[in-house]
Copies of this chain bind each other. A is one copy, B any other.
Amino acid sequence: MVKIGILGLGTVGTGTAQILLDPIGRHHLLGKVEIAKVGVQSIDKPRNVQLAPETLTSDLDSIVSDPNIDIIVEVMGGIEPARSLILKAIAHGKHIVTANKALISRFGDEIYTAANQAGVYVMLEAAVGGGIPVIQPLKQSLSVNRINRVTGIINGTTNYILTRMTEEGGEFADILADAQALGYAEADPTADVDGLDAGDKIAILASLAFGDRIKREEVHCAGIRKVGATDIAYATKLGYVIKLLAIAERSPDASVAVRVHPTLLLKSHPLASVNGVFNAILVEGDPLGQVMLFGPGAGAGATASSVVSDIVVVIGAMLSKSSGDAMNPLMNCPHQKYATMSLLENLVGRFYVRFRTKDLPGTIGYIGTTFGNHHVSIESIVQTSVSKNGAEIVVITGEVTESNFQQALKAIEQLPAIQSIPAILNVVR
């Protein structure tokens, strides 16, 4: 039997134990798995899973140093003590299966270096996209392509909120409150709605797609707090939906840009119909073209499915390996260096801008001319009267560099007719 130690028995830990204790009709290797120890804070708490009382312990250190345990499943979350426990488990020669995107995106370098030295695997399918197989495809199947771009809807909470805002026309704060009441958003929603969770995940996907490490602090994250019902309504009218996209792009000069931001997405785009708590990841490469992986981005069952699949993959490797053998180069981390990040001002993209203006004749002409003077082409421009004295002008640009766009915007701000610029969003077609 292969012996598993589980750190944490929350939603994902419970889901993992449920699968492991009920192996019939699943992969035959699950018949070889035994849950040896489960680390919890409170031993007496009632649980949704039947575990022998002697497997539960609050002494997590004893699990990661237990010589009988082969694989440590870390599903406690957070940076500490998860990081220290994982490093200690690695030092004791144990393979690691983790769902901890915050930890891996910040301390992946340290953890994988230790794992490679110890000859153990650190698996993280559950860290991104819940039950969607995306980590293994990126590390293996898709990696024979030159990958140019990975675009993901990889945070279920924000996608749920934006989907409801689109369907109901409501404002962010009201729908967030309702999502919290329904359990789709946490009491402290910061990590989700400010794009930080998506930032952790796209940092991981980018490092797998491009084969270099990514510094988490170089991932630019903008959340959805400022997305208004007005902008969603304009987007709908113009044939777009607004999604929180996580985008990792490799430029022709091999530099890499990794960003999370609310984005207008053309309705015909494969990601535009990914609604509610579902996630999807679009991978674009040469010669493959586009592949999209879609599924449940969270939830006990889905995330546990990915955790257990990593356990099975590690067992497969363990069973086909003698002690002196090299690690499988498709399962360890081959990254040697950090990626060179693209300079923001060189990035090319499309933008949506909403201007509040005085209702003066010629304002559209002024705006159009000023964009043109800064080499910013315009895809569409719409003017709406909103009051006796005011109007709104919405512009979607063509493909422009970030620096040209920002310079144009500065110049337009000086125009006497411009009152304010309530919204600037990226656009993907």
Contacts and interface: CB of A to CB of B under 8 A. Distances in A.
Copies of this protein, total: 2
A292 B134 CA distance: 12
Contacts of A270: 294
A321 to B, nearest CB: 6
A98 interface: no
Contacts of A25: 146
A177 to B, nearest CB: 27
Contacts of A141: 125, 133, 136, 305-306, 309, 313
Given A15-B287, A133-B133, A320 B325 contact: yes
Contacts of A296: 288-291
A143 B29 CA distance: 10
A301 B289 contact: yes
A325 B330 contact: no
Interface string A222-236: 000000000000000
A294 B291 contact: yes
A342 B351 CA distance: 55
Interface residues of A, number: 64
A414 interface: no
Contacts of A308: 144
B312 A319 contact: no
A199 interface: no
A167 to B, nearest CB: 13
A313 B313 CA distance: 13
A330 B302 contact: no
A96 interface: no
A305 B287 contact: yes
Interface string A157-177: 000000000000000000000
A409 B19 CA distance: 44
Given A29-B330, A316-B328, A309 B143 contact: yes
Interface in A284-335: 285-296, 299-302, 304-306, 308-309, 311-313, 316-317, 319-322, 324-331, 334
Most buried by B among A133, A312, A325: A133
A307 to B, nearest CB: 9
Contacts of A329: 28-29, 316, 319-320
A317 B316 CA distance: 11
Contact of A294 (B140, B294, B311): B294
Contacts of A131: 288-289, 291
B273 A288 contact: no
A268 B124 CA distance: 32
Contacts of A146: 25-26
Contacts of A306: 141
A47 interface: no
A132 interface: yes
A13 to B, nearest CB: 14
5 contacts: A19-B144, A133-B133, A144-B308, A316-B329, A321-B325
